[in-house]
């Protein structure tokens, strides 16, 4: 057993624990370039982040993105789960259809959505034109771009959350529904007083994982907002930084500007935001629903 | 009897059957309308890939290719080298998935059935792998790859992914429920630890391993950020990396990009259609999508 365990533990320490520890240490250094020295600068990177208007913008954008995509995504997934669950013979088929984006590569589907949003050739403006509505600039508009990405993210994640809710619904014992019916409860009342409270564990899981994933959105923004994909004329996060989120900015700073210490500090900040929000949610869910 | 049980297990609805039927029809209609935006991007991806360039740029858009062409598909394989990316993707994702299954089962067995010093601390570290976002170790990990001269090799992609914290956690939970008597009986029969693991534990883990395997395969097939960072040479790119790099190399050739996107998505989708129940189980059982 030792032959197997020791390499496993060593590689775990080297490729997971060490880089995490190093991220904390490096966030206190002015590390520039992967082979460069790492002079200690104390809290300078954190002070820089606090004063950096683009980082502050990226924080705000990240929260706005979560605030747009999360409630809409969860609510529609719940409605969908209830509907698909009641679909009888067609249940499996609809479940598969709504689940397709979950299995598909983000890069591929984000490219397709970018094309759908394209102002001249994209379908969305074609449909608006057909309905005699004014064409929109979508991803090219600083006011709409983040909402466009959020719409894509809802489309992509809907099936996953729906299936989680469907799994949660099957754990509710039918005797609760029978009892409610005997008591003369209407459909809406059954939903509010029986289904919703008994879905509590599913809600907690969905909420926490969705927030954690939403705070780390990267690939869709990378694909949908950069104009030159690699050596790039215009980097992701535009237009006018309107879709700049924490990890996109971290990626730009670290791997394009080679400000590695600063990038590491942003990673640490992200970690603390995620930890704080997760604890807050778990606490809120407990006080809200435990009685 | 069976129908009786089924009708009880669902919230029974007090409606006459004809009314019930029309309500079901309405529900199907509603769900079918909702399915349109889910399917439209896939439809548009495939249809565009068959349109000649002039037709893609012509207005108004055509909903069905007027002059279908295979040019973009041929270009994707001949010019953009997507055949190579496909083989690379198969190699990388299958290797990592196989390694994940083995290491998760072994580590899971270890955490579930053995007492050793530092076990609980080590397990906390493993759990940290589930909670801590990859963006925290990302930069130092890349620095480490540079130091080891592993950047731009498959070592960088495969070695740090050999074990999956989520996989270890799930296998520990699963193996924990296997009765100790089975293991003890094998031990009394003189089996060594390897024999117990491969002959007793592993066969019992088949359902958990199937779910974990599907989850890991999906995750690694679609994985983007790390392979994108670690692999510079086009000969090493996986499908998502090749696709992301496509725009920089070929500009806005929508036909080619849509053909390449289809090639990226299709293999896993075929697999999904073949085993959709297990897929949905596997992906939801194991939590987050990367």
Q: Which residues pair with A32 in a beta bridge?
A: A259
- Which letter does DSSP use for residue B200 in this model? I
pLDDT at residue B263 in the model = 96
Q: Residue B136 and residue A123: Cβ atoms within 8 Å? A: no
CA angle B52, B58, B60 (to 5 degrees): 125
Question: Which CATH architecture does the domain made up of B75-285 adopt?
Answer: Orthogonal Bundle (1.10)
pLDDT at residue A233 in the model = 56
User: DSSP states of chain A as a string?
Assistant: -HHHHHHHHHHHIIIIIHHHHHHHHHTTB--BSTTS---B-TTHHHHHHHH-HHHHHHHHHHHHHHHHHHHHHHHHHHHHHHHHHT-GGGHHHHHHHHHHHHHS-HHHHHHHHHHHH-TTT-HHHHHHHHTT-----GGGSTTTHHHHHHHHHHHHHHHHHHHHHHHHHHTS-HHHHHHHHHTT--HHHHIIIIIHHHTHHHHHHHHHHHHHHHHT--HHHHHHH-SSSSS-SS-TT-STTTT--HHHHHHIIIIIS-BHHHHHHHHHHHHHHHHHHHHHHHHHHHHHH--
- Round to whole Å and give the CA distance between B87 and B81: 10
Task: Tell me how close the Cα of B69 comes to any Cα of chain A, in angstroms.
Answer: 19
Interface A-B, measured as beta-carbon pairs within 8 A, has a size of 251
ipTM of the complex: 0.91
- Round to whole Å and give the CA distance between B221 and B226: 12
Mean pLDDT of B69-73: 92
- B96's tokens: 């990592």
Q: Is the pLDDT of residue B12 over 70?
A: no
Q: Residue A98 and residue B38: Cβ atoms within 8 Å? A: yes
pTM: 0.90
pLDDT at residue A288 in the model = 57
- Round to whole Å and give the CA distance between A112 and B265: 12
Residue ranges of the domains in chain A?
A: 52-285
Question: Which CATH architecture does the domain made up of A52-285 adopt?
Answer: Orthogonal Bundle (1.10)
Q: Is the pLDDT of residue A239 over 80?
A: yes
Give percent of chain B above pLDDT 90: 48
Residue ranges of the domains in chain B?
A: 16-69, 75-285
Task: Using DSSP, state whether B130 is helix, strand or coil.
Answer: helix
Which of B6, B11, B37, B49 is the best residue to mutate to test the A interface, defined by the most A CB atoms within 10 Å of its own CB? B11
Which residue carries 């009892």 as its tokens? A179
Mean pLDDT over the full length of chain A: 89
**Tens digits of per-residue pLDDT, A15-29?**
888 999 999 999 999
Q: Which residues pair with B268 in a beta bridge?
A: none
Lowest mean pLDDT, pick from A95-99, A282-286, B221-225: A282-286
**Closest alpha carbon to A242 in A152, A109, A143:** A143
**Tens digits of per-residue pLDDT, B103-161?**
999 999 989 988 888 888 888 888 888 888 899 999 999 999 998 999 899 999 998 88
Chain A positions in Cβ-Cβ contact with residue B11 (cut-off 8 Å): 174, 177, 190
Query: Which residue among A19, A103, A209 sits closest to B141, beta carbon to beta carbon?
Result: A19
Task: Using DSSP, state whether B65 is helix, strand or coil.
Answer: coil
Q: Is the pLDDT of residue A291 over 90?
A: no
Q: Is the pLDDT of residue A224 over 60?
A: yes
């Amino acid at each position: 057993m030792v032959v197997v365990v020791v390499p496993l533990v060593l590689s775990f320490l080297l490729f997971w624990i060490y880089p995490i520890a190093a991220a904390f240490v490096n966030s206190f250094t002015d590390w520039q370039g992967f082979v460069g020295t790492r002079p200690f600068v104390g809290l300078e990177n954190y002070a820089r982040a606090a004063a950096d208007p683009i980082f502050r913008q990226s924080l705000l954008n990240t929260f706005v993105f979560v605030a747009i995509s999360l409630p809409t995504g969860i609510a529609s997934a719940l409605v969908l789960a209830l509907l698909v669950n009641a679909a009888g013979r067609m249940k499996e088929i609809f479940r598969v259809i709504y689940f397709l984006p979950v299995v598909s590569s983000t890069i591929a589907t984000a490219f397709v959505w970018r094309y759908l949003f394209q102002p001249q050739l994209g379908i969305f403006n074609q449909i608006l034109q057909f309905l005699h509505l004014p064409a929109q600039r979508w991803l090219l508009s600083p006011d709409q771009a983040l909402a466009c990405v959020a719409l894509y993210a809802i489309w992509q994640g809907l099936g996953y959350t729906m299936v989680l809710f469907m799994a949660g619904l099957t754990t509710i014992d039918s005797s609760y529904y029978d009892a409610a019916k005997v008591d003369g409860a209407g459909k809406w009342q059954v939903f509010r007083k029986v289904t919703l409270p008994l879905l509590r564990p599913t809600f907690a899981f969905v909420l926490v994982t969705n927030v954690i994933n939403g705070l780390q959105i990267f690939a869709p923004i990378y694909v949908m907002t950069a104009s030159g994909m690699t050596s790039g004329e215009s980097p992701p996060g535009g237009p006018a930084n309107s879709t700049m989120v924490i990890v996109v900015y971290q990626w730009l700073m670290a791997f394009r500007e080679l400000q590695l210490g600063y990038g590491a500090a942003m990673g640490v900040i992200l970690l603390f935001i995620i930890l704080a929000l997760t604890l807050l949610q778990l606490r809120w869910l407990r006080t809200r629903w435990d009685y | 009897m069976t129908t009786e049980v089924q009708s009880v297990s669902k919230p029974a609805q007090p409606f006459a059957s004809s009314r019930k039927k029309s309500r079901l029809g309405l529900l199907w209609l509603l769900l079918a309308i909702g399915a349109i935006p889910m399917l439209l991007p896939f439809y548009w991806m495939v249809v565009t890939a068959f349109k000649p360039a002039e037709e893609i740029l012509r207005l108004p858009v055509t909903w069905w290719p007027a002059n279908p062409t295979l040019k973009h598909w041929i270009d994707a394989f001949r010019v953009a080298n997507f055949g190579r990316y496909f083989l690379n993707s198969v190699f990388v994702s299958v290797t990592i998935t196989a390694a994940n299954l083995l290491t998760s089962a072994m580590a899971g067995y270890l955490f579930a059935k053995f007492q050793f010093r530092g076990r609980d601390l080590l397990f906390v570290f493993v759990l940290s792998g589930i909670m801590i976002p990859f963006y925290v170790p990302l930069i130092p990990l890349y620095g480490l790859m540079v130091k080891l001269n592993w950047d731009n090799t498959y070592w960088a992609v495969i070695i740090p992914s050999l074990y999956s914290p989520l996989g270890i956690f799930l296998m520990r939970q699963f193996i924990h429920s296997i009765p100790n008597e089975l293991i003890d009986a094998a031990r009394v029969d003189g089996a060594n630890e390897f024999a117990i693991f491969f002959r007793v534990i592993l066969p019992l883990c088949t359902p958990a391993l199937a779910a974990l395997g599907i989850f890991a395969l999906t995750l690694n097939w679609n994985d983007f950020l790390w392979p994108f960072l670690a692999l510079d040479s086009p000969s090493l790119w996986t499908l998502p990396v090749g696709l992301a790099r496509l725009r920089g190399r070929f500009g806005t050739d929508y036909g080619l990009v849509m053909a390449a996107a289809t090639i990226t998505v299709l293999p896993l989708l075929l697999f999904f259609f073949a085993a959709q129940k297990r897929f949905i189980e596997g992906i939801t059982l194991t939590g987050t999508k990367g």
